Structure 1
Amino acid sequence: MASYANGVAADSIPGVRWVKSSASTPEGGSCVEFAALPDGDTAVRNSRFPDGPALVFTRSEIEAMLIGVRQSEFDHLID
């Protein structure tokens, strides 16, 4: 099973399905996309640069981030 490091070219990860929020704006390309990796990690990329670098996070890192989002801990970033 392949393992990927932060900064890997997003388009070099084979066989993954990139998913973005339904709230993303198609005309502005303001989208962050996520892909589940075979080893259980999650890759994140900027949809404006689909062949650019991807950040890779462990399951526990993604879980901590999602819990923080649900608890409004990052709302100050868009206020």
Structure 2
Amino acid sequence: MGEAYNGIAAADLDVVWQKSRYSNSKGNCVEFAPLPNGEVAMRNSRFPDGPALVYTRAEIDAMLLGVKDGEFDHLGTP
């Protein structure tokens, strides 16, 4: 695998994708995969061959801390 970049075809990444156990029965979920260089790729499970966005570990950590703190609760189900 060469250098991963934002918008890379998810199918071009030789990684193991993981989605939340809270994913609904239709499989609609965000999936994450660690990359060999320490970055993290993210894709939409409805489009497994579509684009993957690549984030640094620090960016993922900041997002997870915000989720745990409830900063994004307003985006959930009404």
Q: CA deviation at 1:67?
A: 0.3
2:10 aligned with 1:23, yes or no?
no
Q: C-alpha distance in 1, partners of 2:48/2:16?
A: 12
Q: CA deviation at 1:3?
A: 2.3
State the aligned residue count: 77
Aligned to 1:8: 8
TM-score (norm 1): 0.92
- Which segments of structure 1 move beyond 6 Å, counting only runs of 4 or more? none
Q: CA deviation at 1:25?
A: 1.1
**Structure 2 unaligned runs (5+)?**
none
SS in 1 for 2:59: helix
The two structures, once aligned, show a CA RMSD in angstroms of 1.2
**Structure 1 unaligned runs (5+)?**
none
Q: C-alpha distance in 2, partners of 1:3/1:69?
A: 28
1:38-57 aligned at under 5 Å gives the runs 38-57=36-55
Fraction of identical pairs, as percent: 60
TM-score (norm 2): 0.93
SS in 1 for 2:36: coil
Q: CA deviation at 1:49?
A: 0.3
Task: Please tell me the residue identity of whatever aligns with 1:19.
Answer: Q
